[in-house]
Amino acid sequence: MTWVNQSLSTEFVFLAYPTHPELQLLVFLGISLLYIMILTGNILIVAAIQMESRLHTPMYYLLGSLSIVEIWYTATVVPHMLVNTMKMHKAITLLGCATQMLFFIGLGSTDCFLLAVMAYDRYVAICHPLQYPLIMTQKFCANLVMASIAIGFILSLQLVTFIFRLPFCHSRGIEHFFCDVPPVMRLTCTHSRLHELSVLVAGTLAIAFPFILIAISYALITVAILGIRSTSGRRRAFSTCSSHLMVVLLQYGCCMFMYLRPNASYSPKQDQLLSLVYTLGTPLLNPLIYTLRNSEVKGALKRVLTRNAFSKKSYA
């Protein structure tokens, strides 16, 4: 009850936004353009997978789930960023900050676990091709997606509850664009090794653990691919994993640098730039990588766009 009363009266102020009107407009237009591209790219992938029967396979079901998570992931912070860019008073309540962090970390963790599930899917497809239809059933894939969401939000809830139970100092200025873990932790009055370790453990479970699963899957995949005698067979097997591997490297490169490091190495300006990369860059590049490097998705997108253009012309 005390925390609820405090949350109604306490405000955080974001300090990372530009104050010059012309620069504010430029940032607003830039973020808006990127957000529209993110939504368009991921929605097109979901639509192509939904409308094309040949893409109704476990691999593309998981890709569609990843795109849906990316849409919600960006929606938790980007619209609020756009509003704050043009506002004079860029503030958020304590309760609003906790809610934003809960969904941002929860969906980000879900993203990581979904990438691990997609790596497992490729492992089964390449290392156990005959058992693949029996293992990767529609029900099993749906259960893996639901488990990724559940684990992601359980870890996020525990982390957010831990952070917002700590006492905050009188300073309410967040050196960031939204409520992320490192900048909010800087506002707490309690800076002990135990608290830093607790956040590091939560980050390890959400980021490092699925990355280890991905690494194991790809180690086994590499052994299986090297065992293929024909060069064309090895190239074909690797091509089914290359897009996913690029997305993994991009996603985990940013996340590990941001969350799996000592609090002493925190740099506000550096983290602000990095946050834009994993909040806007990664959700934008994911559909581009899968589209440009996957002929089936590329072909499905062309058919969907052609079909829509033809239907509009017929209607006119």
Q: Is 139 left (phi over 0), alpha (psi -120 to 50) or beta?
A: alpha
The CB density around residue 212, as the number of other CB atoms within 10 Å, is: 12
The residues that bridge with 306 in the sheet, in sequence order, are: none
The H-assigned helical ranges of 87-207 are 94-127, 132-135, 138-164, 181-185, 193-203
Window from 27-41, 195-209, 275-289 with minimum mean pLDDT:
195-209
Taking only the tens place, the pLDDT of each residue in 126-155 is 889 899 999 999 999 999 999 999 999 999
Helix pair angle (94-127, 58-75), 10° resolution: 160
Half-sphere exposure of 146 (CA within 13 A, CB side): 6
- The position carrying tokens 């800076």 is 191
Report all structural domains of the chain as residue ranges with CATH numbers, in order of start: 15-310 (1.20.1070.10)
pTM comes to: 0.86
Sheet of 91-93, strands arranged across: 91-93, 11-14, 173-174
pLDDT tens per residue across span 169-194? 767 888 889 998 888 888 887 765 66
Give the pLDDT of residue 223.
87
- State yes or no: pLDDT of 1 exceeds 50: no
Q: Which of 102-111, 167-176, 202-211 has the highest mean pLDDT?
A: 102-111
Per-residue confidence at 245, pLDDT binned at 50, 70, 90? confident
pLDDT-derived band at 77 (thresholds 50, 70, 90) equals very high
Mean pLDDT for the chain overall: 82
